[in-house]
Amino acid sequence: MIRRALCFPSFIRKSLLIPPVISPYSNSSSKIGAYNGYASQTSSLEVPDSAPYRENDEYADVDWDNLGFGLMPTDYMYVNKCGAGQHFGHGQLNPYGNIHLSPSAAVLNYGQGLFEGTKAYRKENGQLLLFRPEQNAIRMKSGAQRMCMEAPSVDQFVNALKQTALANKRWVPPPGKGSLYLRPLLIGSGAVLGLAPAPEYTFLIYASPVRNYFKEGSAPLNLYVEENFDRASRRGTGSVKTISNYAPVRTCIPDYVPVLMAQLRAKKNGFSDVLYLDSATKKNLEEVSSCNIFIAKGRCISTPGTNGTILAGITRKSVIELARDHGYEVEERAVAVDELMEADEVFCTGTAVGVAPVGAITYQNTRMEYKTGSGTICQELYNTLLGIQTGVIEDKKGWIIEID
């Protein structure tokens, strides 16, 4: 178990003296209820400068039993800036609120932006845990290089996560009730007109308490194989967690449409989400909209290899290692869509979804069903991963960082 003390520098200690902002969605007489849905709540939130703060509250006033996956603003966000060709210095914790951008900011005009996602968990003794945050930092640095951006160092990234989680500790759900989702963003905040990298970059982190990503909760997912829309193309940015990956995708007709269109259409028809195929041949599995996919046959587990169009998920990487520890054979390779017909199990992995079982997949009007529930590989891996993340199972891999 890696145990690292959290020490705030003087500028952070001073910022923590600012009265935290209570979300406008909560008050003393009514708890915040279920926030279900895949997208954040649309809001023109303006945070007051002097909101009340009950300093002795152990938890925020939230209905933890009905927590979903949606934006629930917390008290603080982390902000850091640097110029092009420079290095990030000290950031600071600010009350959660809107940020100011030039209309010609590179992120608005040319999509120069990256994001990450990780979670903080609360142990029974109240201590907070982070799961492999250095992997998120490494992935952001790699993505920044691809997108011609400056990026924080691994240490800066991890320390910023610690500060944000600790400052918002009362929003971390009780054990077994969810987690605090942490969203690091790196954006080209500097103003440009011609197509060029931004002259300034902003690294920020905000947080929201969450539970199940899918509206089905822990129930098996029902996926639809999408053949008209592509998630990513070869030699593109499919392997980079850039903001531009999640809106425009190429379609088989000469036009561009949002990936959200395919997802919304699938949901309208009763499906949980969309499973995409490779753009070149339409014969191999790629990803679900926001997570990696695995299929299992006997003791063999297969998942599409990260060949440049597939995001190298941190949960994916962890599940592969855990599966091998449990004696399963794991293959990272091209997985033909036809293999879905012979699979015993199918499951998805991701920071938001965890390890989620798939109960059925529909491909070319054929519905295929899979094993779910007790005794499955998916359940075994889910229990092991969540146990490590929440401190219930001893971490023998050095994946957990304890925040003191």
Q: What is the 3-state secondary structure (H, E, C) of 98-147?
A: CCCCCCCEHHHHHCCEEECCEEEEECCCCCEEEECHHHHHHHHHHHHHHC
Question: What is the rounded CA–CA span in Å between residue 288 and residue 296?
Answer: 16
Tokens found for residue 42: 């649309």
119 is a catalytic site residue:
no
CA angle 94, 136, 196 (to 5 degrees): 75
Burial of 86 (0-12, 13-18, 19+ CB in 10 A): exposed
- Catalytic residue (choose from 31, 81, 241, 283): 241
Torsion over CA of 318, 322, 325 and 330, rounded to 10 degrees? -80
Q: At what angle do helices 314-325 and 133-146 cross, to 10 degrees?
A: 130
- List all residues 6 or more positions away from 351 whose beta carbon is below 8 Å from its beta carbon: 117, 118, 119, 181, 313, 314, 315
CA angle 209, 211, 213 (to 5 degrees): 115
* CB-based contact 71:43 (threshold 8 Å): yes
- 3 state DSSP class of 16: coil
Catalytic (active-site) positions: 241
